[in-house]
Chains A and B, each alone.
Chain A
Amino acid sequence: DTEVTQTPKHLVMGMTNKKSLKCEQHMGHRAMYWYKQKAKKPPELMFVYSYEKLSINESVPSRFSPECPNSSLLNLHLHALQPEDSALYLCASSQDAGTPLHFGNGTRLTVT
């Protein structure tokens, strides 16, 4: 069982919808990440939070809005997405900035 929990596992949304992806870890990790993975491709980094502050935004469009309410939780708010945003969204955490990442099982998002 993964120690990083993501909900929901699957999400279908229309282009005018607003939805949120959630991620939770209880390992005491201080860095949390959002990655996007298209089919048959490696994951691509979107955002990094360190000590609950946004540290890195990899030029992600504003229709993706991350939020870190506390050290255990990470959200990704979605609004006005495009069909090409359909992908597997992976959350990860690490003890600090230089240590291995632990991934959740992802949310498979389909935008119709």
Chain B
Amino acid sequence: GDSVTQMEGPVTLSEEAFLTINCTYTATGYPSLFWYVQYPGEGLQLLLKATKADDKGSNKGFEATYRKETTSFHLEKGSVQVSDSAVYFCALTSMFSGGYNKLIFGAGTRLAVHP
């Protein structure tokens, strides 16, 4: 079945460091890909998305490019801030029969940014 694999955390960085969180996927067909972020005590927020190969999603300085040839969707940010500390989930949509979508999540990567 469809699946998402993320790099294990926690990832610990100093403020203004470069961030990469790796994400690879296995899927039949052409899924849409997402990054969601979960801040402490909150639900998940959609960070960015890409719906087809070579699309680049971007938001709040974060970017990720849909790479079909490597089945990857790595998250990057050039300069992280303490406020970026959170858990980041890579996800894809997997279609049920009948057209309903199901989000398949990776295990999540905890990011801790220190001043």
Contacts A98-B93, A101-B103: A55 and B46 contacting too (C-beta < 8 A)?
Answer: no
Interface stretch, picked from A14-22, A38-46, A60-68, A70-78, is A38-46
Instruction: Tell me, rounded to whole Å, the shortest Cβ–Cβ distance linking B108 to chain A.
Output: 5
- Residues of A close to B41: CB separation below 8 A: 105
Distance between A55 CB and nearest chain B CB, rounded to angstroms: 5
Interface residues of B in 82-115 (CB under 8 A from A): 89, 93, 95-96, 98-103, 105-108
- Tell me the chain A residues, 1-58 only, with Cβ under 8 Å from chain B: 2, 4, 6, 31, 40-43, 45, 48, 50, 55-56
A97 to B62, CA, bound (A): 26
Contact of A42 with B89 at beta-carbon distance under 8 Å, contacts A90-B43, A101-B103 already known: yes
**With A56-B96, A102-B46 in contact, do A42 and B102 touch (Cβ < 8 Å)?**
no
CA distance A98 to B101 in the complex (A): 6
Contact B46 A42, beta carbon cutoff 8 Å: no
Q: A41 to B107: give the CA distance in the assembly, Å.
A: 6
Say whether A56 contacts B46, CB under 8 Å.
no
Instruction: Give 1 or 0 for each of B57-96: 1 = CB within 8 Å of chain A CB.
Output: 0000000000000000000000000000000010001011
Cross-chain contact of B100 among A2, A48, A103 (Cβ < 8 A):
A48
Complex CA–CA separation, A40 to B46 (angstroms): 18
Q: Are B49 and A100 in touch, CB under 8 angstroms?
A: yes
Residue of B nearest to A31 (CB): B100
Cβ of B12 < 8 Å from any Cβ of A?
no
Q: How far is the CA of A56 from the CA of B95 in the complex (A)?
A: 12
Q: How far is the CA of A95 from the CA of B43 in the complex (A)?
A: 18
- A contact residues vs B (CB 8 Å cutoff): 2, 4, 6, 31, 40-43, 45, 48, 50, 55-56, 90, 92, 94, 97-98, 100-106
